[in-house]
Structure 1
Amino acid sequence: MRNVLTLLLLIAGIRIHAQSDEKLASIIDSLDKIDKRYSIENPIWRGQHPTTFTFQKMEAKIEQVNSMRPYLEDLEALGREDLTEQGYINRSIKLLQISNEISEVDYKIYLIPFNAEGGFFNRPSFFLPNLPFETKQDYEAYLRWLPSFAQYISYNQGLLEQGVKEKIQAPKVIVLNIISLLAPWTGEEINNNPFYTPFNVMPSAIGEQDQLELKEKAAKIIGTDILPAYQQLEKFLKDDYLPKAPEKVGISEIKNGKSYYENRVRHFTTLEITPDSVFATGLAEVARIRASMDAVLEEVGFDGSFEEFLAFLRTDEQFYPISPQELLNYAAWLSKKAEGQLPRLFSKLYELPFTVEPVPDDIAPKYTAGRYVGGSKEQGRPGIYWVNTYDLKSRTLYTLPALTLHEAVPGHHLQNAIAAELEDVPEFRRNYYISAFGEGWGLYSEYLGEEMGMYDTPYDLFGRYTYEMWRACRLVVDVGLHYRGWTRQEAVDYMASNTALSIHEVNTEIDRYIGWPGQAVSYKMGELMIKKLRNDASTALGEYFDIQEFHYHVLKNGSIPLPILESEIKSYITAKKGE
């Protein structure tokens, strides 16, 4: 009788899950239809020339978000007990997605369409290299849509003008960054304009006369349509926007800014957590990592203070490359060295290759030391590990192993490529990036470097601790800047005194945090969760703990919220113990 009752309960549970999963599928289908109704399909993001440059205007985006709002409560009403495992993951990620879109509209953050690294105006730096320029027809297609890009610039200037009226503006320090980044786009020399780059070296298959005619058309379009739009934007930023921009750097300075920052902390960590608790965690991590850094000073026998050791690292020529190619070669060698260690730690690897390239010149001055740019098997594009070769005296060699592990493998390339190759998951999950998971994994990958033998010298190890300290400091300075009224200089001083990052990097990083509130706290919070779960699994399973299995279960669902990851690893531990 008991077995019959158990069977009936099991069948009832399966039916409930099936019904709830069907309801979830219906909600997601409705949201997808809303997205398709309002989205603007621009093939430029797939590496194809469009007929004209189309984009979604905020009026349509606001309508779209308002259409989505009723489904927010429907998603929240579906609990873990109602859904299958994959159903609950789908629900949680879709909830995170649409909550973020609603927040952007509710707080009117769309009125600040740039951050410290750029925005709408320098997007061509990212899509132009992926467009085809092989035939005369490719160039003609480019020149057909190019004039319409001026409308995109003008529209975004209109958003900025509205932001001035509503007192929702970026702070002065970010505006000054943007004005400096505009320089390549506003110069009078057409041949130096980024839009003219495809014409500097043209395929020999295109005849000389055709090349000449195409170049003349390009110069005319850039000079008549594109350049005036950019120059008008530059003038507006200098004459109207900058004088009215806030002096104070925190997002709390704008209307409802403090509430928005609390929202960002929850979004970027995927946790119900407050800025003050993040700040406290940061202070504790800074103290812990400092002890490891001090141990390196003892190991190398440095006769001086911690501050003097940082000065030594920042000034001694042995720690800096002498040419861009040396830096790129070392990054490429480290990438292959790391790749050779992957089979020992991972049972599932990626199919998509990656390469190493310099950060594009027009964005490099205000860009970070490195970045990962995702590829696509379908579009025939590899993943790219970007290395910043600008200002070589600020590019420390002792931090390059940690940077490589984070941006290339086993960090972003491995995680993103595996996620893109997942089967039997909705498309929105395959391409959605959750910062706490992805950046947490990147930072955890730096930690894995010790087990992989990637830190050959004590200075390399200090570089790894510097990068971890950098992320711990982020918890402190991000909250300090946006929630506690810190000045930019206070944040710079705190970061500079606790890490061996070059002063140039410290400044670009602090500006990045100012321009992107909350995102910086995701790294350390994600890494702490992954390391905690690994410790939980290792402690619970003892000799039966398998690092390959653990990594498989961390990565098998793609990018997921941290509470979901925690639940997944707990289930893995329980199942493993039951074997």
Structure 2
Amino acid sequence: MKKIILTASVILLFFSCKNKEVSKEVIVDKVSIDSVFKHYYEESLKLYPLNATLSGDSRYNNYLPNDITASFKNKQKAFYNAYRDELLSFNKDSLSKEQRMSYEVLMWECNINLDKLQYPTELIPINQFSSLPQTIGQLAGGSSAQPFKTATDYKNWLQRLNDYVVWCDTAIVNMKKGIKTGYVLPKSLTLKVIPQMESFSSGAPKEHLFYSPIKNIPNNISRAEKDSLALAYETIIAEKIIPTYKKLENFFRDEYLPASRETSGINDVPRGNAYYGHQIQTFTTTSLEADSIHKLGLSEVARLENEMKKVMAEVNFKGELKDFFQAIRTARELMPFDKPAQVIENFNEIHQKMKPQLAKLFDLTPKTEFEVRRTEAFREASASAEYNPGSIDGTRPGVFYVPIPDVKKYNIYSDEDLFLHEAIPGHHYQISLQQENKSLPDFRKTLWYSAYGEGWALYSESLGKELGLYNDPYQYFGMLSAEMHRAIRLVVDTGIHTKGWSREKAIEFSLAHEAESEESITAEIERYMSWPGQALSYKIGQLKIIALKNKAQKQLGDKFDIKIFHNKVLESGCIPIKLLEEKINTWILKNTVDE
């Protein structure tokens, strides 16, 4: 126990110590590798307190670091260098199999995060899809990960909001620096950010989204405390939140929009090509290059088109594939709802339909509860369907969010596929099992590698027929369309960020090869523009899992058990693709040798 405390304090000392030689001498007092894993997790929660909140750890709910400052980047650099040095002091051969896996995972974390620090990402701190304002907006509604059960919870959020206001001021300063260096958003994305800022920059404080927790304040809080908190929330909204969003709105409209770039790809900002290479490595956890990914995408698009034509023939549709896409986009029978609640109920019915079949494919199932919710109104127009994990202790359920901006136009043709991906056995199974796995060190319970996580979810979509779904040819076509959507991503993401593709060219390519609406496709393309490389992870991960399953089936023959294969893929949680491949290959070899 003493050594655990010493190491934690040593890491803190490393952050503040300017003499590197002294730091190295202090760190020599080595502890067990398991202690390193534990300390890493504990220190990472202090560094990234939102991660603690999202995992259900309430210790840092009152704090939001200003993570877009030079001093914070220096702290990150010290943090990852310190733990990399700790790891390098161990002999890997002396570690157990599970310890070696954790060693490799943590080494990857240190290296990939240190690599990212060389790029000035803090100069584009806000976008329309995945930046802190979207996260804060979700938490502010009072029904997400930030708890609002006690008076302390309510006060914690007030403190965190004060930090957020400071962060927003820094964001404006950074974006002004970005304007001077050409490190700015594309104009089309800036145009989407402005209305998001507008939605919070006016109105009566008591009608503001950020006042929502007060409207649902629990009865265990005294009347005097309720009144005090209500006044505090009304005050911070009126005096800080609304003025901050008004400042952001004016800045984006008056200064940032005129300076935003006409081009779509990240390669148009300073060192953009190198940064995109880093993003490919981050999100695919491979050494693949953009050009080979682009060619793979074109090949997958062609293969899936042939499969789609088979469905078109099955339903006796006469015409070209693009005509079939249009027919599906506009088919009134595929848009049967007039109330958002009906969309949610349809997903719950899909869940009930597949439940009896799950035991055929899985004997590892999570305890964490699950539910389907509509995406919040403030971000619904630019949002995709998504899964938000439950808490590690299982007290907060996993949530599948569904955007329903216009229920009359909501098309159900791919709902079965979407449920398999976002919910069960996709993200909810994989993430919940990872969080519940007591054999994993804490830092691995919340790790996310997109190629593995999204690859698993996309792989899960292929299991529909075995789970009693896809009996309707349009739902099966929905599965093919979803896979096509991910294949298209390989083409358009690399096209946008390395080949000079415009936003319009990417939209046109997508419209020609999938049945999504133009509105939905436009939001997707703008997502890729704001989040370079992330869209590549789905297909890269899925194809690797399929290849590993095919290899196992071929080499194990009658000994192959799909449930055991799924266990082997899921039991280690999110890991880089290279480590997953090594693990499955070792399992295959062991079982063929034992024959």
TM-score by shorter chain over 0.5: yes
Could you say what secondary structure the match of 2:482 adopts? helix
How far apart are residue 444 of structure 1 and its match? Answer: 0.3
Contact 1:354 1:413 in 2 (8 A): yes
Aligned: 1:413 with 2:428 = yes
1:441-476 deviation per Cα after TM superposition (whole angstroms, max 9, x unaligned): 000000111222211211111111000000000000
Looking at structure 2, the residues matched to 424 and 544 of structure 1 have their Cα atoms a distance apart, in angstroms, of: 26
- Does 2:106 align with 1:90? no
What are the residue-to-residue correspondences of 1:105-120 with 2, within 5 Å?
Answer: 105-120=117-132
Aligned partners of 1:258, 1:554: CA distance in 2, in Å?
33
Q: Quick one: distance in 2 between partners of 1:107 and 1:453? A: 47
Specify which of 60, 74, 78 is matched with residue 63 of structure 1.
Answer: 74
SS of alignment partner, residue 489 of structure 1: helix
Q: State the shift of 1:317 in Å.
A: 0.9
The CA deviation string for residues 320-354 of structure 1, in whole angstroms up to 9 with x for no partner, is 13221111101111123233322110121111110
Rounded to whole Å, the distance in 2 between the matches of 1:70 and 1:210 is 44
User: Which of the residues 521, 531, 547 maps onto 1:506?
Assistant: 521
Instruction: Summarize the alignment of residues 295-310 of structure 1 with structure 2, pairs less than 5 Å apart.
Output: 295-310=310-325
2:64 is the counterpart of 1:54: yes
What residue number does 1:180 align with? 195
In the alignment, what sits opposite 2:8?
Answer: none
Letter in structure 2 aligned against 1:510:
I
Q: What's the offset of the Cα at 1:247?
A: 1.0
Change (3 A) 1:181 1:217: same
> Which position in structure 2 is the counterpart of 1:313?
328
Alpha-carbon distance between aligned partners in 2 of 1:282 and 1:110, rounded to the nearest angstrom: 31
1:356 equivalent to 2:367? Answer: no
Letter in 2 for 1:575: K
Aligned-pair CA distance for 1:84: 4.3
What CA deviation, in whole Å up to 9, does each residue of 1:163-222 have, x standing for no partner? 223322221122111112112211233233211122345556778887666544433321
Matching residue of 1:221: 236
Deviation at 1:506, TM superposition (A): 0.6
- Kindly provide the amino acid, as one letter, of the partner of residue 381 in structure 2: P
Listed one character per residue, the Cα deviations across residues 342-378 of structure 1 (whole Å, up to 9, x for unaligned) are 211012111111011111111111001x111100152
Cα distance in 2 between the residues matched to 1:367 and 1:436 = 21
Correspondences of 1:3-14 after superposition (within 5 Å): none
Give yes or no for contact 2:465–2:471 (8 Å, CA) kept in 1: no
Deviation at 1:555, TM superposition (A): 0.8
Structure 1 counterpart of 2:21 = none
Query: 1:104 corresponds to which residue?
Result: 116
**Is the CA contact 2:87–2:107 (under 8 Å) kept in the aligned structure 1?**
yes
Quick one: which amino acid aligns to residue 520 of structure 1?
A: A
Change (3 A) 1:47 1:176: farther
What does residue range 358-507 of structure 1 map to in structure 2 within 5 Å? 358-368=374-384, 370-378=385-393, 380-507=395-522
Contact (CA 8 Å) 2:413, 2:474: kept in 1 or not?
yes
1:457-503 per-residue CA deviation (whole Å, 9 max, x = no partner) reads 11111111000000000000000000111000111011111111122
Shift of 1:423: 2.0
Moved more, 107-116 or 81-90: 81-90
Deviates more, 1:151-160 or 1:553-562: 151-160
Distance 1:27 1:543, change over 3 A: same
Query: For 2:160 and 2:287, how far apart are their aligned partners in 1?
Result: 45
CA distance in 2, matches of 1:565, 1:229: 45
CA distance in 2, matches of 1:52, 1:566: 41
Bigger mean CA deviation after superposition, 187-196 or 51-60: 51-60
1:198-237 map, 5 Å = 198-203=213-218, 214-237=229-252
The whole-number CA distance in structure 2 between the counterparts of 1:53 and 1:345 is 43
Q: Report the CA distance shift for 1:41/1:338 in structure 2 as closer, same or farther (over 3 A).
A: closer
- 2:7 is matched with none
Note closer, same or farther for the CA distance 1:47–1:428 as it changes in structure 2 (3 Å cut): closer
Instruction: Give, as a single letter, the amino acid of the residue that structure 1 aligns with 2:104.
Output: S
Residue 352 (structure 2) pairs with residue 336 (structure 1):
yes
Alignment CA distance shift 1:485-1:41 (3 Å): closer
Question: How far is 1:31 from its partner?
Answer: 5.5
CA distance in 2: counterparts of 1:84 and 1:252, whole angstroms: 43
**1:257 corresponding residue in structure 2:** 272
Seen in structure 2, the aligned counterparts of structure 1 residues 205 and 553 have a Cα distance that, compared at 3 Å, is: closer
Aligned position for 1:153: 168
2:351 is aligned with what amino acid? S
**Letter matched to residue 445 of structure 2:** R
Worse overlay, 129-138 or 23-32:
23-32
- Letter paired with 1:554: V
Matched residue, 1:294: 309
RMSD of equivalent CA atoms: 2.9
Q: Secondary structure at the match of 2:387?
A: strand
Aligned match for 2:580, one of 565, 574, 578: 565
1:357 alignment partner, SS class: strand
Give the deviation of 1:90 after TM superposition. Answer: 1.6
Q: Is the 8 A contact 1:394 1:505 kept in 2?
A: no
Q: CA deviation at 1:235?
A: 1.1
Q: Which runs of 5+ in 2 are unaligned?
A: 1-29
Question: 1:89 and 1:197, CA in 2 relative to 1: closer, same or farther beyond 3 A?
Answer: same
SS in 2 for 1:500: coil
User: Is the Cα–Cα contact under 8 Å of residues 83 and 110 in structure 2 kept in the other structure?
Assistant: no
Secondary structure of the structure 2 residue equivalent to 1:557: coil
Amino acid at match of 1:64: K
Q: Equivalents in 2 of 1:539, 1:171: separation in Å?
A: 48
The correspondence for 2:562, drawn from 522, 530, 547, is 547
Between the aligned partners of 1:516 and 1:41, the Cα distance in structure 2 is 20
Number of the residue aligned with 1:170: 185
Give the residue type in structure 1 aligned to 2:245. Answer: Y
Count of aligned pairs between the two proteins? 558
When residues 134 and 495 of structure 1 are mapped into structure 2, their CA distance, relative to the original with a 3 A threshold, is same
Unaligned runs of 5+ in 1: 1-20
8 Å Cα contact 2:37-2:443 kept in structure 1: no
Q: Secondary structure at the match of 2:395?
A: coil
Q: Check the 8 A contact 2:450/2:538 in 1, yes or no.
A: yes
Residue equivalent to 2:282:
267
| Distance in 2 of aligned mates of 1:222 and 1:400 | 38
C-alpha contact 1:112 1:170 (8 A) present in aligned 2:
yes
- The 8 Å contact of residues 126 and 171 in structure 2, kept in 1 or not, is answered as no
1:424/1:53 CA distance change after superposition, 3 Å:
closer
TM superposition shift of 1:36: 7.1
**147 and 462 in structure 1: CA distance in 2 versus 1, 3 angstrom threshold:** same
| Mapped pair 1:246 → 2:257 | no
The farther-off stretch of 194-203 and 397-406 is 194-203
Call closer, same or farther: CA 1:49–1:395 in 2, change over 3 Å.
farther
Partners of 2:43 and 2:234 lie apart in 1 by: 40
User: How many angstroms apart in 2 are the aligned matches of 1:249 and 1:75?
Assistant: 40
Q: Does 1:122 pair with 2:134?
A: yes
1:327 — aligned with what? 343
In structure 2, give the amino acid aligned to 1:273.
L
| Bigger Cα displacement from structure 2, 390-399 vs 49-58 | 49-58
Equivalent residues of 1:79, 1:88 under 8 A apart: no
Q: 1:479 to 1:73 in 2, by over 3 A?
A: farther
| TM superposition shift of 1:424 | 2.5
Counterpart AA for 2:70: E
Question: Per the alignment, do residues 506 and 225 of structure 1 end up closer, same or farther by CA in structure 2, a change over 3 Å counting?
Answer: same
Change in CA separation of 1:116 and 1:78 when aligned onto 2, cut-off 3 Å:
farther
User: Are 1:525 and 2:540 matched, yes or no?
Assistant: yes
